[in-house]
């Protein structure tokens, strides 16, 4: 009788029988908290203390997009590749709210589904990943993670108690929500170097081992510390300089983690994101005027993990309608404004005239964000961002740049610019117009170089001078 029962069980499982993939008993799964969530931990079940559940505690002073997630333990995957894409989850809360669940890691595109909890105790909620909420499509693959947003905004702008409402960044009430018995079609996904599981002879989660030695590399150090003076800077993200003019952060969206990359006791954080899974950005409650600033600057470190290498930086205004304006960093098409540089800290300085030339209203900055190179394509990479700041007059400078003593003559010029350094060897010079497009690229191996202006129209240009001591950006004028 036992053998017959076991065979029936195997048959049912093979055709898509729903099983519990995570009940939080045994070894606790890896959990995360982001965008100001107060806590995301495995604790005693609120009604059966001998059992365990995932506890999410919201913060009333953080973004409505705050959330927590987990990687399924035991190497199991949630199979959402079949027609049955429903997942049931036991949820406990004393507060009514609409919850968004999202799957991102593993072998399928990011997908989200929502369900309403009426409050007052345990409920079994059904999340249908065939629909695709939060601008995602239907799930199709085997997933190794799940992310929860306890204060998800209902479609149509109608919010029940606990939801995030519009652009009000601190509208989340205090809630404690427990998650248990996540059930769906369970399978063992193929082992990869990016599945969030310590396999493939890895010595850490998705890192190390002979097979996956470079599966998730990270910077060997922090981004250079800027030296640009406070009066010239409007900071979106920087934690090392104490800049006093700052983006009035009200909420974040997407997924990122803050990582300290300084090997010493000092702290130098950067934003880390997996663009295969999600982009990241933040917004403010009311549009802000940045029209007095001339450059958008940031430092990035990038390694490609799938498809086309690159990413986009997006400025978003709100002058009655929300509009996006993109600067694309890649290496494959005419639409790229700059080439991607892999696995080294690289500074990008974009003239604000590039964005305003596209129609961006610099008096109505509302949001910024980064995303993968092709938002509808199967591509992505690991991206670190730091020192996202606007500057007046000139691009951002930092310690290594300030070591390079550079002169240019004549400037303005109608023929050649002669660039010379007194203490370094110039290895290359790249010249960009004010739309951010590279118009000249020269290699070199001496302390001076002549750049012809013959094919350039009159106007202002930026030259990125790379030397053995670092890199410096200078302004050039063609008469």
By residue count, the chain amounts to 479
Residue 190 pLDDT > 70, yes or no? no
Residue that finishes a domain, picked among 358, 391, 424:
391
Query: Would residue 224 count as lying in a domain?
Result: no
- Tens digit of each residue's pLDDT (9 = 90 or more) over 25-57: 888 888 888 777 889 999 999 999 999 999 999
Give residue 192's pLDDT: 62
Of the given ranges (31-35, 151-155, 249-253), which has the lowest mean pLDDT? 151-155
Query: Would residue 218 count as lying in a domain?
Result: no
Same domain? 35 vs 183: yes
Helices (H) and strands (E) in the chain, counts: 3, 32
Contact 86, 92 (CB under 8 A): no
- Tens digit of each residue's pLDDT (9 = 90 or more) over 384-430: 999 999 998 777 876 444 456 788 999 999 999 999 988 788 989 98
Residue that finishes a domain, picked among 345, 371, 391:
391
Q: Which residue has the higher pLDDT, 197 or 341?
A: 341
Residue 14 pLDDT > 60, yes or no? no
Query: Would residue 2 count as lying in a domain?
Result: no
Same domain? 170 vs 24: yes
List, in order, residues 6 or more apart from 315 with CB less than 8 Å away: 296, 324, 325, 327, 355, 360, 365, 368
Closest-CA residue to 273 (of 383, 148, 375) = 383
Dist. CA 191–CA 199, nearest whole Å: 7
List beta partners, residue 179: 54, 91
Place of tokens 């952060």: 249
Same domain? 149 vs 45: yes
Same domain? 321 vs 427: no
Q: Which residue has the higher pLDDT, 264 or 296?
A: 296
pLDDT band at 131 (very low <50, low <70, confident <90, very high): confident
Side by side, the strands of the sheet bearing 470-478 are 438-446, 426-433, 459-467, 470-478
Query: Would residue 377 count as lying in a domain?
Result: yes
Dist. CA 409–CA 418, nearest whole Å: 5
DSSP letter, residue 401: H
pLDDT band at 193 (very low <50, low <70, confident <90, very high): low
Dist. CA 21–CA 18, nearest whole Å: 9
Same domain? 242 vs 180: no
Query: Would residue 203 count as lying in a domain?
Result: no
Residue that finishes a domain, picked among 391, 413, 447:
391
Domain coverage including residue 60: 20-187
Give residue 448's pLDDT: 92
At 478, list the tokens: 């063609």
Regarding beta strands 470-478 and 459-467, do their DSSP bridges make them parallel or antiparallel, or are they unpaired? antiparallel
Closest-CA residue to 22 (of 58, 90, 73, 81) = 73
Give residue 292's pLDDT: 95
List, in order, residues 6 or more apart from 86 with CB less than 8 Å away: 18, 126, 127, 128, 129, 130, 184
Find out whether the peptide bond into 410 is cis, omega within 30 degrees of 0: yes
Same domain? 316 vs 453: no
CATH number at residue 93: 2.60.120.430
Query: Would residue 194 count as lying in a domain?
Result: no
Query: Would residue 215 count as lying in a domain?
Result: no
Contact 245, 292 (CB under 8 A): no
Question: What's the number of domains the chain is made of?
Answer: 3
Same domain? 243 vs 329: yes
For the ranges 88-92, 200-204, 372-376, the one whose mean pLDDT is highest: 88-92
Same domain? 368 vs 340: yes
Same domain? 294 vs 322: yes
Same domain? 385 vs 413: no
Average pLDDT of the chain is 83
CATH number at residue 458: 2.60.40.1930
The values of phi and psi at residue 11, to 5°, are: -65, -45
Query: Would residue 324 count as lying in a domain?
Result: yes
pLDDT band at 63 (very low <50, low <70, confident <90, very high): low
Same domain? 128 vs 259: no
Please give the average per-residue pLDDT across 58-78, as a whole number. Answer: 80
Task: List strand residue ranges (DSSP E) for 10-144, in order.
Answer: 18-22, 30-34, 39-44, 52-57, 67-71, 77-79, 86-93, 97-103, 111-117, 121-128, 142-143
Same domain? 414 vs 368: no
The values of phi and psi at residue 4, to 5°, are: -65, -45
pLDDT band at 472 (very low <50, low <70, confident <90, very high): confident
């Amino acid at each position: 009788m036992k053998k017959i029962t076991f065979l029936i069980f195997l048959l049912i499982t093979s055709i898509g029988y729903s099983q519990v993939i995570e009940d939080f008993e045994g070894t606790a799964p890896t959990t995360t908290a982001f965008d100001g969530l107060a806590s995301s931990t495995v604790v005693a079940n609120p009604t059966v203390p001998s059992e365990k559940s995932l506890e999410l505690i919201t913060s009333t002073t953080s973004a409505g997009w705050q959330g927590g997630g987990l990687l399924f333990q035991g190497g199991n995957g949630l199979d959402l590749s079949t027609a049955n894409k429903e997942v049931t989850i036991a949820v406990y809360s004393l507060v009514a709210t609409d919850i968004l669940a999202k799957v991102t890691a593993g072998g399928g595109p990011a997908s989200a589904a929502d369900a309403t909890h009426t409050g007052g105790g345990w409920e079994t909620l059904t999340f249908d990943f065939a629909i695709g909420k939060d601008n995602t499509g239907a799930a199709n693959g085997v997933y190794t993670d799940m992310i929860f947003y306890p204060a998800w905004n209902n479609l149509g702008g109608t919010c029940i108690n606990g939801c995030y409402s519009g652009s009000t960044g601190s509208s989340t009430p205090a809630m404690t929500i427990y998650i248990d018995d996540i059930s769906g079609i369970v399978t063992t996904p193929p082992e990869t170097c990016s599945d969030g599981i310590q396999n493939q002879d890895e010595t850490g989660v998705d890192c190390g081992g002979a097979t996956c030695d470079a599966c998730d590399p990270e910077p060997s150090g922090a981004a250079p510390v800027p030296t640009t003076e406070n009066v010239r800077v409007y900071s979106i993200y920087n934690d090392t300089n104490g800049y006093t003019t700052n983006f009035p952060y009200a909420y974040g969206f997407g997924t990122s983690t803050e990582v300290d990359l300084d090997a010493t006791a000092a702290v130098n954080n950067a934003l880390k994101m997996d663009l295969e899974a999600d982009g990241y950005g933040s917004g403010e409650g009311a549009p802000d005027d940045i029209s007095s600033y001339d450059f958008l600057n940031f430092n990035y470190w990038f390694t490609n993990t799938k498809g086309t290498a690159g990413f986009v930086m997006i400025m978003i205004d709100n002058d009655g309608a929300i509009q996006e304006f993109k600067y694309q960093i890649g290496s494959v098409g005419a639409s790229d404004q700059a080439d991607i540089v892999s696995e080294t800290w690289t500074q990008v300085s974009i003239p604000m005239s590039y964005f305003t030339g596209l129609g961006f209203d610099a008096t109505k900055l509302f949001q910024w964000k980064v995303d993968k190179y092709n938002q509808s394509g199967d591509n992505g990479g690991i991206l670190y961002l730091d020192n996202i700041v606007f500057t007046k007059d000139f691009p951002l400078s930092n310690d290594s740049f300030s070591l390079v003593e550079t002169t240019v003559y004549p400037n303005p010029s109608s023929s050649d610019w002669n660039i010379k350094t007194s203490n370094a060897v110039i290895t290359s010079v790249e010249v960009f117009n004010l739309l951010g497009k590279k118009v000249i690229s020269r290699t070199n191996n001496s302390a001076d170089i002549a750049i012809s202006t013959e094919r350039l129209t009159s106007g202002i240009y930026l030259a990125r001078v790379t030397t053995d001591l670092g890199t410096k950006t200078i302004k050039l004028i063609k008469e």
